[in-house]
Amino acid sequence: MAEESEDGLVWDQFDYEIAECYVSGLINGDVSGLEDEDEKLLIQFETYAHNTATRSGWRIGHWDCGEEEDERYAECDVSGLFAKVVPVSLHVFKVAG
């Protein structure tokens, strides 16, 4: 749900679930632990997420990693494979008004 901040921006987020192995690459840009093919998949995913947001009129803010309450296994939004996933959010904004 979009929220307006004191600086006149409206913030929202797009939520995804990605395998643990991709988190460092997405949040910190550290892809040193990924194979070349996994790095390409991560780049494609990030491009897709950014394009989805900008086509909806949002500007890109930042990525955030959610809290892991319990282990959750589901389809990874990066690879499409069943994996232990972590919730991540792409925070986006636009000028209010």
- pLDDT value of residue 66: 78
Rounded Cα gap, residues 45 and 58, in angstroms? 17
SS3 content of the chain, % helix, strand, coil (to 5): 30, 40, 30
Q: What is the pLDDT at residue 1?
A: 67
Each of the 97 residues of the chain gets a pLDDT tens digit; together they read: 677 677 789 999 999 999 999 999 999 999 999 999 999 999 999 999 999 999 999 999 999 997 767 889 999 999 999 999 999 999 999 987 6
- The token duo for 93 is 């904004």
